[in-house]
A and B are shown apart, each in its own frame.
Chain A
Amino acid sequence: MTTTDTDPQTDGAAAPRPAPDTAPSAGVPVVEMQGISITFGAVRALDQVSLRLFPGEVHALMGENGAGKSTMIKALTGVYTIDSGRIVVGGEQVEFGTPAASQAAGISTVYQEVNLVTNLTVAENMMLGREPRRFGGINTRAMNRKAGETLQRLGLDVDPASVLGDHPIAVQQLVAIARAVDVEARVLILDEPTSSLDADEVAKLFEVMRTLRDDGVAIVFVSHFLDQIYEISDRMTILRNGRLVEERMVSETSQLELVKLMIGRELEALEQIDREVAATDSADTGAPVMKVLGLSRKGSLETTDLELHEGEVVGLAGLLGSGRTELARLLFGADTADTGEVQFRSERRRLRSPRHAIDRKVAFSSEDRKAEGVIGDLTVADNMLLALQASRGWLRPIPQSTRTTLVQEYIEKLDIRPADPQALMRNLSGGNQQKVLLARWLITQPEVLILDEPTRGIDIGAKAQIQATVADLARQGLSVVFISAELEEVLRLSDRLVVMRDRRKIAERRNDGLSVSDVLEIIAGEARQDQEAHPRD
C-alpha cells in the first residue's frame, strides 16, 4: 500500500551508479531461467531454453518468427506455466502462476501494443491500482506529484495531468515504461517497443533505457531492428525453433554472424542446396504489369519503388519487421499508403482498399492465414469461391455447374485433402488451408499474385507443392511476389530479389546464382568483415 508520498528512489538519485563496463557478467544474475520447456498440445514451443539476466544490462532476445521469444517472455511474466525447468529470481526459485505474481517479484513488461488506457491521464495510468489515498479517497494531487517525480527521473517532459490519449504513441510507450519501473522493477521486459516509433522517438526511448540500466535494472529488449540491438544491447540470447542457439556478448558478434545464428542452417549445406537449384534460368521477363513509385506509410515502410513484370517471381527477403510484409500489404491496398502511387498497364492511382487492387487483377494471400485468410466456418468450396463471388457481387451468384467445375478443378490441381468441397475450412490442415487460399486467388485469374509466407507452418509435402505451383504460374506469365522467412526458398523461386531491412529496400538483385550467404551479407549490411565474406564460386 503506497500511502506515503515520498519516493525512496529519488533519495539516492544524487549519486548515480557508474555505467557498467561492457561485460557486466561479473555480478550475480537477477533472473536465471534454466532448461525451460513448454508444450502446447503436440507443439513444443520451448525446448530446454535457458536465459540469464544480470542487473544493469540490456539483454536482447533474438530470433525469427516461431523462435520462442514471446513464449519465453510469457513464461517469465507468469502468463504461461512451464512444463519443466526452473526460474530463479534473486537467488530464490519461484513459480509464477499469474502475471500478478511475476509483477510482485519485480518483473515488469511493456508490450508492443501500449497496454494502457488512453482515456485516463498520464498520472492515473502510471498509478492505477496503487494510487495514494487520503480520507479514503484518491489523493489526486499526491498522485500527480508522484507520477511527475518518476517522469522527471526518467527525463520525460510530460504533464502528469494530461490525458494519455492526447499524446503520440511514442510518449504513451514511454509512459508505459514509466509505469513499469515505478513498481520498483528489477527486470523490465520491452517487447518490440520500437516497432512504431520514428528515429527521434527511439533515441528518447534509448535514453530512458540507459537511465534505467544505470540504475541497475535488467532490461530484456526485443526488436527486429539490428541497428537498434547493436546500439543499446550489452548481451544477447539467440533462439531458433524453440531452442537456445547461443548467448553472446553483442560487442563480440558481427551482424552477419547474428543473422546466421538466427536463420540457422550450416552455410555449407545451404550452398549445396543453392547449387542444386541454380538451374533456375533467369529467362527474359515480360512487360511490366505493376509499378509502384514512392510508396510509403509511417511506421511501416519508407519510400520504396518497385516494378513487377509478367512471368517473373520477385522474392522479398529480409528479417521479420524489415518491411517485407508491410510492402506487400501496401501493394494490395490492405493498408493505405501515405504517399506513392501504383501504375498499372493503363492507369495510375492510389490504392485505398483491397477492392481497388483486386479490380486491377492483383491478388494477395496474407501471412496471417487464420485471422486474414480462412473463413473457418464456411466450406472449402465457399472459401475457394469467395474472392470471385465478391467481385461479382451477391446478386450474380456463380452458376452451380461452374462452381462445381472450378472447385473440383482446383482441388485436383492443388491436391487438396480431403477432396471434399463441402468440408468445413477449419477442419483442414494448415497446408491444405493454404492451398485453398491459393485457389481462391487463382480462380480470379490475377495478373499479380502476392504471397506472404505461403509456406509457413505447413508440412513439407504441401510446401513443395506450393513452391512448384508458384514456379509453374510464373512460367504461364503470372507476376508473383513471394515472401518467406526462409531464404533458400525465396532464392529457389525468385528471378529477382528485393532485400529489405529496417523498413527500407536496401538492395535489388537479379537472381543469377545468388547464394544464401550473399543475401545474408546484404541483410547484415555495413557489418561486413573480411573473415566472413565468403568468396563466391
Chain B
Amino acid sequence: MTDTLTRPTPSGSPGPSPAPQRRLRASSSTKALLWPVLALVVLLVVNVVATPSFFDIRLQDGHLFGPLVDIARNSAPVMLVALGMTLVIATRGIDLSVGAIAAIAGAVACVHMAGSSAEGAFATAAVGCFTALAVCLVLGLWNGFLVSVVGIQPIIATLVLMVAGRGLAQLITDGQITTVNNDSFSNLASGFVLAVPLATVVAVAVVALTALVVRRTALGMLVESVGINPEASRLAGVRSRTIIWTVYVFSGLCAGLAGLIIAANTRSVNANSLGLFIELDAILAVVIGGTSLAGGRFSILGTVVGAVFITTLTRTVVNVGIPSEANYLFKALVVVAVCLLQSPRARAAFRVRRVRPAAPTSAPTSKAGLA
C-alpha cells in the first residue's frame, strides 16, 4: 500500500536532491504509522504484564490458538468495515449505514439458509452469502446515489439507511433471532485455513486485494485527488461522481462481508444487535490509522493497525480485569487523544509552549531528522 510512496526513482534521474526528498517522505509515512503502532505495542505490553502468557500461541489439532490468534480473528469484521470506510473518508465522506448493512447481510444469508431444504449444504451457504453481498451492493449503490447524484451530505445521506436499515433487517428475519446449522457458513468465523483462522484469512485477503487494486489501478490516486482538492480535480477532468459512487458501493460490500462473519460467529442473526456500533468502531479505526476525517491521503495499513488496536483494546480491558463494557470509556479517551493529536489547533497550542523553531515550516525539522 505504501509502496508507491517509497518506490525508488528511476536510476537515471538527475537533479539536485532526489534522494533526500525520498527519504524525507519515507520518514513521514513511517511517522504517520508510528503512533498507532506504538499505541498497539503499549497495549500488548499492558497485556503481557497482566497475563504473562498473553503471547503464548499453541498448535492444537493443526489449528493455532491463543490470545493473539483470538485478536486476529476478532478484528476481522471491524477491519473489513474500516477498510471500506477508509476509502469513503478519503473522499471527504462518511458511511454511517455500515452497521445496518451488516445486519441486513447477516439476515439475508441466514434467512436463506434457514429456509432452504438443504440447510447444511455448502452450496446453500454460498448462495446465501452471494445473495447477501448482492443486496449490499444495491444498498451501497443507494448510498452512493444519494451522495454523488442527489448531492446530499454523506453524513445525512447514510443516516437514512442507518435508521431504516435495522428495520429492513428485522423485516427480513421477521423479527426473529434466526439460527442456522450450516458448518460451511460457521466456518467463515470459526474455521481454519493452514492453521490460521479463516476469518482472518478472508479479511487479510480482502485488505491485500483492495490495497493492490487501489494502488495498481488509478482508483487510489483519484480518490485522494478528489479528497484533497475537489475543485482542482474537477478542472482536471476527474469524474468524481463515479469515484464517489464506487467507494460507497465498496463500503457496502465490505460491511456485508463483515456482517456475514459476525453472523457466522454466532451461527445466528439478531437484526437488532448485529454490527451495532460497528460504524463507530470502524471510523475510530480509520482515524487511529492516520487517515484524516477531512479526506485526502489514506493509509490502508494504518487502518489495519487501527482495527487491530480496537480489538486489542477490548481484549485488554477484559484481560486486566475491568468489566468488558467499560471499554467504551477507553474508546472515548482514544478518540479524544487521536483527535487532539490530529487537530492543527491543538498542535499549535502545544507547540507554542515548546521552544519556537527557527522557521515554522515542516521542512527544516525533517531535514534535521536526516542529519
Contact = CB atoms under 8 A, between A and B. Distances in A.
Question: Does a CB–CB distance below 8 Å link A and B in the complex?
Answer: yes
Interface of A: 332, 334, 353-355, 358, 364, 366, 371-378, 382, 386-387, 389-398, 404, 408, 411, 417-424, 427, 440
Given A382-B221, A417-B15, A420-B13, A375 B22 contact: no
A419 B17 CA distance: 8
Contacts of B10: 404, 408
A355 B231 CA distance: 13
Nearest to B12: A408
Interface string B295-322: 0110000000000000000000000000
B297 A418 contact: no
Interface string B7-34: 1011011111110011001000000000
Contacts of B242: 393-394
Contacts of B217: 394-397
B218 A420 contact: no
Contact of B231 (A371, A382, A411, A420): A371
Contact of B15 (A372, A395, A420, A424): A420
Contacts of B224: 375, 377-378, 382
Nearest to A412: B14
A359 B231 CA distance: 18
Nearest to B366: A427
B232 interface: yes
B17 A375 contact: no
Contacts of B25: 422-424
B339 interface: no
A294 B222 CA distance: 35
Contacts of A374: 229, 232
Contacts of A396: 217-218
Given A394-B243, A408-B10, A408-B13, A387 B232 contact: no
7 contacts: A332-B235, A358-B237, A364-B235, A371-B229, A375-B228, A394-B243, A419-B14
A377 B226 CA distance: 11
A355 B237 contact: yes
Interface residues of B, number: 39
Contacts of A394: 217-219, 222, 242-243, 246
Contacts of B296: 377
B221 A389 contact: yes
Contacts of A392: 218
Contacts of B337: none
B120 to A, nearest CB: 39
Nearest to B362: A427
Interface in B71-85: none
Nearest to A405: B10
Contact of A354 (B218, B222, B237): B237
A375 B13 contact: no
B8 to A, nearest CB: 9
Contact of A418 (B15, B235, B239): B15
Contacts of B238: 386, 390
Contacts of B363: 427
Most buried by B among A353, A358, A389, A404: A389
A295 B21 CA distance: 46
Contacts of B221: 378, 382, 386, 389
Contacts of B231: 371-372
B228 A377 contact: yes
B18 A375 contact: no
Contact of A390 (B16, B21, B236): B236
Given A394-B218, A418-B15, A418-B16, A334 B229 contact: no
Given A390-B237, A395-B217, A420-B21, A375 B15 contact: no
Contacts of A372: 229, 231-232, 235
A354 B21 contact: no
Contacts of A408: 10, 12-13
A423 B21 contact: yes
B216 interface: yes
A374 B235 CA distance: 11
Contacts of A440: 236
Nearest to A389: B218
B351 interface: no
Interface string B200-239: 0000000000000000111101101100110111111111
A386 B236 contact: yes
A389 B243 CA distance: 13
A386 B13 contact: no
Given A382-B221, A397-B216, 11 more contacts: A353-B234, A371-B229, A371-B231, A372-B235, A375-B233, A386-B236, A393-B242, A394-B222, A395-B218, A419-B13, A420-B21
B237 A420 contact: no
A366 B9 CA distance: 29
A388 to B, nearest CB: 9
B218 A398 contact: yes
A54 to B, nearest CB: 41
B5 interface: yes
A382 B233 CA distance: 12
Contacts of A355: 237, 239
A417 B17 CA distance: 9
Contacts of B218: 389, 392-398
Most buried by B among A332, A408, A420: A420
Nearest to B7: A422
A439 to B, nearest CB: 12
A404 to B, nearest CB: 6
Nearest to A420: B18
A314 B60 CA distance: 78
A382 to B, nearest CB: 5
Contacts of A393: 218, 239, 242
